[in-house]
Structure 1
Amino acid sequence: MRFLVAFLGAPIITCALLLFMAGLINQKVNQFQTQHENPYFDLVLSNQDESFESRTRKKPTPPEPQTQENVQVTQVQQTRVSSPDMSMTLELPSLDLSSNVSAMAISMPGIESMQQPNSALTGETMAMPLYRVEPKYPRKALRLGKQGHVLLSFDVNESGRVVNINVLEAQPPRLFERAAKRALKKWKYKPMLVNGKAVSQRGQKIRLDFKMEP
């Protein structure tokens, strides 16, 4: 009997609970919609009598033009103020360059001495150089303070170039020979003409002196 009553009452109680829950849900939904409805605004424009002050911008009065006398006075004053005394005296140390230059002075025979007859050439004259290069003073000789000379023999070919250079004498030995030969090799001589034809000139000699001026 108890089971029968429980079996019949359970569906009734379940339906009642479902209806109760549905009613609660509908009530919450209605409240939410009511709270979130678009509010109604009643706008009323009221005419307010307000007095606005109108401001008118006034142009600034231009400055009075200066007269010619005033302009000249101001210009003179400006020039007098902006011209300070900028005179300065610079004292530069005097550089003694003569010592370095004089140490490189090299004496060579002049043109007159090279035109002297050569006894070894049976009366032929020395060749005339058209272009010559001064030999460089060796650094070792400058450092040691040495002076000397080099006597060279050479030939001049048909084109006027120096060939077959030989050292005949050098004082002091093995100090100035290389500088003398390098310089003489770059010399250019006037070719010798025989019957209108250039010929070589052999047995030429020259002495190059290396001296340091005091």
Structure 2
Amino acid sequence: MRFLLAAIGAPLISFSLFIFMASLINNQVSLPKDTEENSYFDLVMSQQDESFQSKHRQKPKPPEPKPQVSAVPSPSIKPVMQNPGVSASLDMPAMDLSSSVSAMSISMPGIERALAPLAHVGETMAMPLYRVEPRYPAKALRLGKQGYVVLSFDINEAGRVVNIQILEAKPKRLFERDAKRALKKWKYKPTMVNGQAISQLGQKIRLDFKLES
């Protein structure tokens, strides 16, 4: 009985093993084929992607040429000549600063010429080393006014004018300010007594304001 079962089972087992071995062989043979097909498909797809990317790849922009800077010629500037009929020179009158009577003319269109105020200095009065001529007031020039101012003052140890007082003025409130302002700038030689400078009191002067006809 055992022998019979062995005789029947052995061929069945052998046949089953044969079938199983055949199926394994078929699977091993078909697997490389699928792998090759997949590899080929991947290769084709990668080539297509590269070709698509190369078609759509933007070409780099060529570098822009640098602008050529040409030397700009400097414009020639011609000197502007003055009108030969117009003179730009100004004639300035000379001023005499000596103790003698001096005159300074002022030229103004439509206005009479004004003499510099005249300073009358008495024989007993001190003589200035430096004097400034008063300015002729513009209002007096415009109105054509003439006049004079009498002033008293002292001279200190340094020869400066101090304590100026208006004694008389004609017309009033027209020439006083300019006469006083000029007298403040006058300079005198100090009086020396026993080698020491002393003040000179009670000085007096008259400044005349006149116009040339």
TM-score (norm 2): 0.50
Paired AA for residue 182 in structure 2: A
Distance 2:82 2:191 in 1: 62
Q: Percent identity?
A: 55
The residue that corresponds to 1:177 in the other structure is 176
CA gap of 1:24–1:211, structure 2 versus 1, over 3 A, is: farther
| Residue 100 (structure 1) aligned with residue 134 (structure 2) | no
The residue that corresponds to 2:50 in the other structure is none
Query: CA shift at 1:151, angstroms?
Result: 0.7
Q: Tell me, which stretches of 5 or more residues in structure 2 are unaligned?
A: 1-25, 48-80, 92-105
The residue that corresponds to 1:119 in the other structure is none
Offset from partner CA, 1:144-198 (integer Å, 9 cap, x none): 2322111111111222111111111111101111111111111111122334433
The residue that corresponds to 1:156 in the other structure is 155
Superposed, 1:44-83 pairs within 5 Å as none
Query: CA shift at 1:127, angstroms?
Result: 0.3
Secondary structure of 1:211 counterpart: strand
Distance 1:181 1:153 in 2: 10
**2:117–2:133 Cα contact (<8 Å) kept:** no
Distance 1:179 1:189 in 2: 20
Across the aligned residues of Structure 1 and Structure 2, the Cα RMSD in angstroms comes to 3.8
The residue that corresponds to 2:84 in the other structure is 91
Secondary structure of 1:208 counterpart: strand
Paired AA for residue 121 in structure 2: M
CA gap of 1:173–1:24, structure 2 versus 1, over 3 A, is: same
Aligned length: 135
Secondary structure of 1:174 counterpart: coil
The residue that corresponds to 1:114 in the other structure is 121
Query: CA shift at 1:91, angstroms?
Result: 2.1
CA gap of 1:187–1:35, structure 2 versus 1, over 3 A, is: closer
| Residue 29 (structure 1) aligned with residue 39 (structure 2) | yes
Distance 2:146 2:126 in 1: 27
Distance 2:125 2:82 in 1: 58
Q: Tell me, which stretches of 5 or more residues in structure 1 are unaligned?
A: 1-15, 38-87, 117-124
Query: CA shift at 1:140, angstroms?
Result: 2.2
CA gap of 1:33–1:160, structure 2 versus 1, over 3 A, is: closer
Offset from partner CA, 1:10-29 (integer Å, 9 cap, x none): xxxxxx9xx98985563252
**1:155–1:164 Cα contact (<8 Å) kept:** yes
